[in-house]
Structure 1
Amino acid sequence: MLIRPAREDDLEAMERLTALSFHLVDQRLMPRELPVPEQRTAAAGANWIRRTRHTLRTDPGGCWVAEVDSEVVGCAISRVRELMWILSSFAVSPELQGRGIGAQLLAASMQHGEHCLRGMLAASADPAAVRRYRLAGFTLHPQMQVRGTVERSVLPVVDRVREGSAGDVDLLDSLDRRTRGAAHLSDHELLLAQYRLLVADRPSGQGYAYVDATGAPVLLAATTRRTAVDLAWEALAASSPEVPLEIAHLTDVNAWALDVAVAARLSIHQGGYLCLRGMKPPAPYIHHGSLL
């Protein structure tokens, strides 16, 4: 087995590996009351490759693969943003798990952030992975997710929330630093290309939310809970009564998001862990699954 830096010509193999690994974990751990998990779509796979190519260029020292007989059997993708180390993706071929490959990959990627004050990653509920993160010194904060279709009759009128653009990035980075302790920097380019951006910039509070095609906020940061609530409702207003949505990565310090979900008639479920080092769970904040 060889642990080596990842290259651009590894991207397709890493995408296939992570798609399969994550799907198998979802199949094994998904509660019965939820829909049967589907494997990553071609469009989602292309976005994964785009994000990882970006990380290879900004953080080559944080991207590693495990190779056996010239085949990629594991990968760890991490990035450093200011003084925060972020693990974006981590997987080992199912048939080779339990042989120490994951531990070596994680150790290699963590060296990239050895000077960082904080660390952050989103984990599934897979017991082996969670144990590895705890042994690496991370605190484990249970996450929740909400699902369903929004009850249209309860949607409130939200004032002074506007469409955002690349011209707002300085404001977004400032909000990132205030809520999670580090800016997203060039990662905003990826987010702007994939999602709709909502911005609130008013004397009573500032905030932003990236919203996917279903109307779910996939990343949200704000200076006040009231502003976060307004951004969440404005995002949900774009949802369809025919298409279910999912808002993942909700921690208990962001109970305001659960209140919005309950009012919108969405169901609440457990959903993995937010793993942190050197910091408390960000709030008001909903973190992105890989860009955090």
Structure 2
Amino acid sequence: MDSVQVRPMREDDLRSAERASAVTFLEAERSTGRVGGPEAEPRSAVASEQWIDRMRFFLSVDAGGCWVAVDGDEGAAGTVGFAISQNRGRLWFLATYGVLPSHQGRGVGKRLMDAALAHADGRPGIFSSSIHPGATRRYRMAAFSLHPQMQMVGTVDRSTLPAVHGLREGRADDFAWMDELDQELRGAGHGPDHGYLLGTRRLVVSRDGARPGYVYLDDRGRASLLAARHPETAQTLLWEALASSRGSTLVNCITTANEWAIDVGLAARLDIGQEGYIAVRGMPVPAPYLASGHFL
């Protein structure tokens, strides 16, 4: 009889869940990496702590969407799978999901996904997916549409950077209109996620009354979540992110509905490639919008 138990996540599961996540995604990257592409590397200690901090935040905001699969003989230390999802208003999103390679093909992933989808309670949903065949099969069987997404990588040719105008540093008092914009683009605001993101990233906003938008930049100046009412505003925000980048940069989660981002990246001399899917159910792909992997 299978000793694996699927149950709600607890605080003391976070470190073992992070270890399971690191192993799962490293193996996935190694098995699906492109020929000639960079070799997948283990998650750094800093990145591991950031993962734990983000999942602790999700657990504090909406614990009902956070699930783990544990080996019954090992307790919390034996985490073999995880599904962290969240409800924001009338939107559900899957922040992260995976099963250790040693436990794949045993129905653990289906049980975790079933628990996370039950928490959605019929809400439209969105998440960023890898190209793992087993996972994508499960997503499609759960009635999600899979939209191929692209990413752009490389060092920005700084001679291509245009002058940008109409932007300023964002503040907590911008959250209200940002949530209204989120509502237009994806059916629900980010709510408490904005507070968390502002504490860990730089926020740049455009407050043009007719064409508002915002972008969060990580500690390397890379765009990690971008939303705008008009493609021109989105392009201006992305140019600001590229101007802020240091060394090699990354623009992720680009769907065909967001080709405005491809035009900017190619103009900046970045290289383009395919990288997984944006999965949606009961909603269109947001645009102009670049999703965050964990916060969508």
- Which TM-score band (shorter chain)? over 0.9
Runs of 4 or more, structure 1, over 6 Å off, are: none
Q: Does 1:286 align with 2:293?
A: no
1:151 aligns with 2:178: no
Structure 1 contact 15–45 (Cα < 8 Å) conserved: yes
Instruction: Give the equivalent residue in structure 2 for 1:276.
Output: 280
1:246 aligns with one of 241, 246, 250: 250
Q: Of 66, 84, 89, which residue of structure 1 is paired with 2:96?
A: 89
Number of matched pairs: 289
Give, in whole Å, the separation in 1 of the partners of 2:66 and 2:222. 29
Q: For residues 34 and 161 of structure 1, what CA distance do their matches in structure 2 show? A: 35
Residue matched to 1:259: 263
Residue 103 of structure 1: aligned partner = 110
Alignment-derived partner of residue 228 in structure 1: 234
Residue in structure 2 matching 1:21, options 21, 24, 39: 24
Q: Is the 8 A contact 1:214 1:244 kept in 2?
A: no
Name the SS for the 2:37 alignment partner.
coil
User: Could you tell me how far apart the structure 1 residues matched to 2:286 and 2:141 are?
Assistant: 22
* Secondary structure, counterpart of 1:248 in structure 2: strand
Equivalent positions of 1:101-250 (< 5 A) are 101-116=108-123, 118-240=124-246, 243-250=247-254
Structure 1 gap segments, 5+ residues each = none
Which runs of 5 or more structure 2 residues have no equivalent in the other structure? none
Partner residue in 1 for 2:37: 34
Aligned-partner Cα distance in 2 for 1:50–1:172: 24
Task: Tell me the alpha carbon deviations over residues 256-292 of structure 1, each in whole angstroms, 9 at most, x when there is no partner.
Answer: 0000000000000100000000011100000000110
Q: Distance in 2 between matches of 1:191 and 1:41?
A: 21
Using the TM superposition, give the Cα deviation of residue 34 of structure 1 relative to its aligned residue in structure 2, in angstroms: 2.2
State the 1:33 CA deviation: 3.0
Q: Tell me by how many angstroms 1:55 deviates.
A: 1.2
Q: Give the Cα–Cα distance (whole angstroms) in 2 for the partners of residues 64 and 203 of structure 1.
A: 41
Q: CA deviation at 1:42?
A: 1.7
Deviations 1:237-267 (A, max 9, x none): 1123xx1011111001100000000000000
Judge conservation of contact 2:242–2:249 (CA < 8 Å) in 1: no
The answer as to 2:61 corresponding to 1:54 is: no
Quick check: 1:83–1:115 contact (8 Å CA) kept in 2?
no
Amino acid at match of 1:283: A
User: 1:148 aligns to what SS in structure 2?
Assistant: strand
TM-aligned CA deviation for residue 221 of structure 1: 0.2
- Give TM-score scaled by structure 2 length: 0.95
In the alignment, is the contact (CA less than 8 A) between 2:211 and 2:230 conserved in 1? Answer: yes
Tell me the SS of whatever aligns to 2:54.
Answer: helix
User: Under a length normalisation based on structure 1, what TM-score does the superposition of the two structures give?
Assistant: 0.97
Aligned to 1:112, the other structure's residue is in SS state helix
Cα deviation per residue 1:18-60 (whole Å; 9 max; x = unaligned)? 1110111011112123211222222221121111111112211
**CA deviations over 1:163-194 (Å, ceiling 9, x no partner):** 11222111211111111111110011221122
Q: Distance in 2 between matches of 1:2 and 1:239?
A: 43
Q: Aligned-residue CA RMSD in angstroms?
A: 1.0
Q: Report the identity percentage.
A: 45
Mapped to 2, the partners of 1:189 and 1:30 lie a distance apart of 34
